[in-house]
Amino acid sequence: MTLAAPVPRRGPRRDGRFTAWAFLLPAVAYVVVFFGYPLAANVVTSTQDYTVKSFYTGEAPFVGLANYAAVLANPLFSTAVLNTVLFTAGSLVFQFGIGLALAVFFAGRFPGGALLRSLLLLPWLLPLVVSGAVWRWMFDQDHGVLNAASRLIGVGAVPWLSSTAWALPAVILTNIWIGIPFNLVILHGGLRAIPASLHEAAALDGAGAWQRFRHVTWPLLRPVTGIVLMLGLVYTIKVFDVIMVVTGGGPANATQTLTTWSYRLSFHDFAFGQGAAVGNVLILAATAFGLLYLRSAKATLAEAAA
> What is the C-alpha to C-alpha distance for residues 176 and 86, in angstroms, rounded to an integer?
13
| By CB under 8 A, residue 102 contacts other proteins | yes
CA dihedral 209, 211, 214, 219 (to 10 degrees): -100
Task: Indicate which single residue of 72, 195, 219, 267 sits in contact with other proteins (rule: CB under 8 A).
Answer: 267
For other proteins, the closer CB: 13 or 215:
13
Task: Indicate which single residue of 120, 202, 203, 229 sits in contact with other proteins (rule: CB under 8 A).
Answer: 120
Task: Indicate which single residue of 73, 125, 165, 306 sits in contact with other proteins (rule: CB under 8 A).
Answer: 125
Task: Please name which of 247, 251, 198 lies closest in space to residue 220, comparing C-alpha atoms.
Answer: 198
Compose the 137-156 pattern: x for residues touching other proteins by CB under 8 A, - for all others: xx-x--x-x-----------
| By CB under 8 A, residue 182 contacts other proteins | yes
Q: Which of these ranges, 74-82, 86-94, 212-220, 267-275, lies near other proteins under the rule CB under 8 A?
A: 267-275
| By CB under 8 A, residue 209 contacts other proteins | no
Task: Indicate which single residue of 5, 73, 152, 305 sits in contact with other proteins (rule: CB under 8 A).
Answer: 5
For other proteins, the closer CB: 204 or 302:
302
For other proteins, the closer CB: 27 or 165:
27
Q: What amino acid is encoded at 230 in this protein?
A: M
Q: How far is the CB of 149 from other proteins (least distance, A)?
A: 10
Task: Please name which of 266, 237, 249 lies closest in space to residue 67, comparing C-alpha atoms.
Answer: 266
| Contacts to other proteins from residues 223-262, by CB under 8 A | 224, 227-228, 231, 234, 237-238, 240-241, 244-245, 248, 259, 262
Task: Indicate which single residue of 186, 191, 254, 271 sits in contact with other proteins (rule: CB under 8 A).
Answer: 186
Q: How far is the CB of 212 from other proteins (least distance, A)?
A: 18
| Contacts to other proteins from residues 57-96, by CB under 8 A | none
